[in-house]
Amino acid sequence: IAGITQAPTSQILAAGRRMTLRCTQDMRHNAMYWYRQDLGLGLRLIHYSNTAGTTGKGEVPDGYSVSRANTDDFPLTLASAVPSQTSVYFCASRDRASTDTQYFGPGTRLTVL
Amino acid sequence: GQQVMQIPQYQHVQEGEDFTTYCNSSTTLSNIQWYKQRPGGHPVFLIQLVKSGEVKKQKRLTFQFGEAKKNSSLHITATQTTDVGTYFCAPNFGNEKLTFGTGTRLTIIP
């Protein structure tokens, strides 16, 4: 069982380019989340999805979009990257059926130049 | 808005000393979770507190949830080098979003 995987591990991107960060979980959790982590600011919620077919906005959604076509995948897209989107991005899924625990992926380190 | 303050932001302790981080909310919480993130790693779930006044222990870690369900703390007794990392609280305000405190970064002086 892999848990949650994210790809790529890291990426350097030119400003203005489009980028999709991939997230896949094999635990059949209904809820999934995207966070960005910046020094001194902790983890900030970008978008979330309570179940396949639904999505919602978090604290910092501007410049990002998500989709949830199925239970396992929750990609995050930057339509036109800007330097302020340089960050470490974590995907997470939540076991709301039992322990309510969130499980995090290993993260994607994104640098926008 | 629904916000939580986590203090301190940084804590440096001598190995063997105790450590405490606090999470304070202005509104009542449904529950609160605590996570640990090792340097270069991802957050890992530690515990969830649900009941008013709840106290839970995991070896040298003691977690408390205030009577009013607005405050929580994590206390580590006799810190070890393996305790290094950032500790986050994740308050649940009863909605679908799970947000995090800003974290307390713990460093240990050997």
pLDDT tens profile B71-97: 999 999 999 999 999 999 999 888 777
Q: Is A64 on the interface with B (CB under 8 A)?
A: no
- Number of Cβ pairs closer than 8 Å across A and B? 58
Cis status, amide bond into A8, omega within 30 of 0: yes
Contact state of A40 with B99 under an 8 Å Cβ cutoff: no
B1 has pLDDT over 80? no
Cis status, amide bond into A106, omega within 30 of 0: no
Rounded Cα gap, residues B28 and B26, in angstroms: 7
Give the mean model confidence (pLDDT) for residues A63-81. Answer: 97
Structure tokens at B68: 């009013």
Rounded Cα gap, residues A2 and A50, in angstroms: 21
Rounded Cα gap, residues A113 and A84, in angstroms: 9
Q: Hey, how many other C-beta atoms are within 10 angstroms of the C-beta on B6?
A: 22
Rounded Cα gap, residues A111 and B40, in angstroms: 16
Residue closest to B97 by CA, chosen among B29, B6, B7, B41? B29
Backbone φ and ψ for A14, nearest 5 degrees, come out as -80, 140
Assign B3 a pLDDT band (cuts: 50, 70, 90): confident
Where is pLDDT greater, at A39 or A12? A12
pLDDT at A108: 98
Rounded Cα gap, residues B22 and B40, in angstroms: 23
Contact state of A56 with B96 under an 8 Å Cβ cutoff: yes
Contact state of B43 with A41 under an 8 Å Cβ cutoff: no
Q: What is the pLDDT of residues A49-61, one digit of tens each?
A: 999 999 999 999 9
Rounded Cα gap, residues B96 and B110, in angstroms: 42
Q: Is A47 on the interface with B (CB under 8 A)?
A: no
Q: Hey, how many other C-beta atoms are within 10 angstroms of the C-beta on B85?
A: 21
Q: Position of tokens 């974290």?
A: B103
Q: What's the mean per-residue pLDDT of chain A?
A: 93
Contact state of A90 with B42 under an 8 Å Cβ cutoff: yes
What is the residue type of B4? V
Q: Report the SS3 class of residue A85.
A: helix
Task: Tell me how close the Cα of A103 comes to any Cα of chain B, in angstroms.
Answer: 7
Q: Is A45 on the interface with B (CB under 8 A)?
A: yes
Assign A1 a pLDDT band (cuts: 50, 70, 90): low
- What is the number of helices (H) and of strands (E) in chain B? 0, 10
Contact state of A101 with B45 under an 8 Å Cβ cutoff: yes
List of chain B residues whose C-beta atoms are within 8 Å of the C-beta of residue A40: 9, 102
List of chain B residues whose C-beta atoms are within 8 Å of the C-beta of residue A48: 96-98
In the DSSP assignment, the letter for residue A84 is: G
Task: Pick A42's closest partner by Cβ from B42, B44, B101.
Answer: B101
Task: Indicate the length of chain B as a whole number.
Answer: 110
Task: Tell me how close the Cα of A90 comes to any Cα of chain B, in angstroms.
Answer: 8
Task: Tell me how close the Cα of B102 comes to any Cα of chain A, in angstroms.
Answer: 4
Assign A97 a pLDDT band (cuts: 50, 70, 90): confident
Give the mean model confidence (pLDDT) for residues A33-51. Answer: 91
